[in-house]
Amino acid sequence: MTEHNPLPHTVKRDPLSNPVVTGPSSDEFLRLAETEVDVADYAGTFYAEVGGRPVFAALTKNFYASVAEDGDFRQLYPEQDLYPAQIRLQLFLEQYWGGPSTYSEHRGHPRLRMRHMPFPVNAHYRDTWLRHMNKAIDQLELPLLHAETLREYFERAAFSLVNRPD
């Protein structure tokens, strides 16, 4: 397991997400990403089809390892330790693809556009993000249909998060 420093968080209540954990992830949230999940509980979902938690953990670990090697792109991530961001993405993706709802239970509604608004996402950074994610997908050696399903989702998501002109 990667060593990480637990970071404090604050809880804010609002009508859309009750509660929303704002700021860095809590230590409890980080630990939840390492608990075993029985994919049989999620039969019939893409989450179960691709292999569940180990696959999404590997995907996000590969992605953030690639990001860490990209000095320019790495500057967009405010946390010194990328592990909390890795876990947030892992748990979000698990939930999105039909797995445990841990992400929403601890962080509220995903609200991706709102959460990414503080970061300058232009076409260059969108494409850079996609390059790192596609590299991470390649490293999983998934069946072609599963890999392409992920790529299509990530492309749509990345394009929807652009919030700055070039």
Contact 93, 56 (CB under 8 A): yes
Q: What is the pLDDT of residues 70-123, one digit of tens each?
A: 999 998 888 888 998 899 999 999 999 999 998 888 777 767 767 767 777 889
The beta-strand segments (E) located in 53-160 are: none
Q: How far apart are CA 90 and CA 6, in angstroms?
A: 17
Q: With CA atoms as reference, report the closest residue to 104 among 34, 36, 18, 45.
A: 18
pTM to 2 decimals? 0.80
Per-residue CA distances from 79 to 23, 104, 127 (Å): 10, 21, 21
Instruction: Report percent pLDDT > 70 for the chain.
Output: 83
Which amino acid, one-letter code, is at 95? Q
- Here the tokens at position 135 are 């590299």
Q: With CA atoms as reference, report the closest residue to 30 among 89, 74, 84.
A: 84
Average pLDDT over residues 160-164: 87
- Here the tokens at position 81 are 């330790």
pLDDT at 155 over 70: yes
Q: How far apart are CA 121 and CA 102, in angstroms?
A: 27
The beta-strand segments (E) located in 18-107 are: 20-22
The 3-state DSSP class for residue 12 equals strand
- Here the tokens at position 53 are 């938690």
Average pLDDT over residues 39-57: 97
